[in-house]
Amino acid sequence: MARYWPEPAWTHGTPARTGVLLVNLGSPDAPTAAAVRPYLRQFLSDPRVVEIPAPVWWPILNGIILNTRPAKSAAKYATIWMDEGSPLTVHTKRQTKLLAGYLGHRGLADLRVDWAMRYGAPSVPDVLKRMKADGCTRILIVPMYPQYAASTTASVLDEVATCLARWRNQPEIRYVRNFHDHPGYIAALAQSVRDHWMKNGEGDKLIMSFHGVPRRSLDLGDPYHCECHATARLLAAELDLPEDRWQLTFQSRFGKAEWLKPYTQPTLEALARQGTKRVDVLCPGFPADCLETLEEIALECRHAFLSCGGKEFHYIPCLNERNDWINALSGIVRDHLGNWLSRPAAAPQDLAASVQRARKAGATC
Known binding-site positions for Fe(2+): 211, 292
Q: In whole angstroms, what is the distance from residue 336 CA to residue 338 CA?
A: 5
The SS3 call for residue 32 is coil
Residue 228 sits at the vertex; the CA angle it makes with 28 and 128, to the nearest 5 degrees, is 40
User: Amino acid letter at 302?
Assistant: R
Q: Which of 21, 329, 17 is nearest to 175 (CA)?
A: 21
| Cα-Cα-Cα-Cα dihedral sign, residues 257, 228, 251, 245 | positive
Phi, psi of 26, deg, nearest 5: 130, 175
Helices (H), 144-223: 153-164, 183-200, 215-219
Q: Are 215 and 254 in contact (CB under 8 A)?
A: no
Residue 186 sits at the vertex; the CA angle it makes with 23 and 172, to the nearest 5 degrees, is 35
Q: In whole angstroms, what is the distance from residue 354 CA to residue 359 CA?
A: 9
Binding-site residues from annotation: 211, 292
User: Amino acid letter at 82?
Assistant: M
Q: In whole angstroms, what is the distance from residue 141 CA to residue 152 CA?
A: 13
Q: Which of 37, 20, 33, 81 is nearest to 289 (CA)?
A: 81
Q: In whole angstroms, what is the distance from residue 19 CA to residue 173 CA?
A: 10
* Strand partners for 314: 280
* Strand partners for 205: 279
Residue 217 sits at the vertex; the CA angle it makes with 211 and 220, to the nearest 5 degrees, is 155
